[in-house]
Amino acid sequence: MEGNTTFLPVEITVLDYLAPVNPVETAPKLKYEYHEGIYSILPDLDSIYPLATGIVSNFDLSPRLKDDYFAFIFSGLINIPESGAYTFYTASDDGSKLFIDGYEVVDNDGAHGVQEASGSIPLAAGMHRIVVSFFEIGGGEVLEVNYKGPNTEKQAIPDSILFIDLSPVAATGA
Ligand SMILES: [Ca+2]
Ligand SMILES: [Ca+2]
């Protein structure tokens, strides 16, 4: 800004890719927290002590202890293979949300049958934090999480790119 008024060509291909996190130690799979309650939208579960916790290979509702009135929070890391714009999708019955590095990317909240919602975010290659929250009222219960990248067709997020952060400081991270 020193009085140079020359306009450079607008570079629209440069995205501000979110930098990866660099966990000290990881292991495969995801952590989950399981809750029970009567929800009509996703509750703020962060402040509520979960009824159960555990480890799953993927976003999986099978650890539930009953078929209605429950919620899950799945959290971990996703290893993004190459930098680019990624689209994430949840198809859920009932509501769900997906967060990457703390950003709400997919809002599929509310009481509903199976419906899909999506959102996109520019990610640098490497590990990123992923959180999926889900709740079920009654009837069927479904959660499918898909993604699409620059050279990745839309598909279920594979087990092979999901990890748990075992770094000592990760225990307090959202
Ligand atoms: Ca049900
Ligand atoms: Ca349902």
Domain boundaries, the chain: 26-168
Query: From the CA of 140, how far away is ligand 1's center (Å)?
Result: 4
Q: Which residues, by Cβ under 5 Å, contact ligand 2, an ion?
A: 93-94, 139
* 108 close to 28: Cβ distance less than 8 angstroms: no
Instruction: Please tell me the number of the ligand nearest to residue 135's CA.
Output: 2
Q: How far is the CA of 136 from the centre of ligand 2 (A)?
A: 5
pLDDT in tens, 13-54: 456 899 999 999 999 999 999 999 999 999 888 778 999 999
At 71-82, the pLDDT tens digits run 999 999 999 999
Q: What is the pLDDT of residue 7?
A: 55
* pLDDT bucket at 1, cuts 50 / 70 / 90: very low
> Is 105 exposed, middle or buried (CB count within 10 Å of its CB: 0-12, 13-18, 19+)?
buried
For ligand 1, the distance from its centroid to the CA atom of residue 159, given in whole angstroms, is 25
Contact 117, 108 (CB under 8 A): yes
**DSSP states of 36-74:** E---SS----TTS--SEEEEESSS--TT-SSSSSEEEEE
The whole-angstrom separation of Cα 77 and Cα 26 is: 9
pLDDT (tens digit per residue) in 84-105: 999 999 999 999 999 999 999 9
Q: Is 26-168 a domain of CATH 3.90.182.10?
A: yes
pTM of the model: 0.88
**Ligand lying nearest the CA atom of residue 93:** 2
pLDDT for 9: 52
Query: Ligand nearest 40 Cα, by number?
Result: 2
Give the Cα separation of 118 and 86 in Å (integer): 10
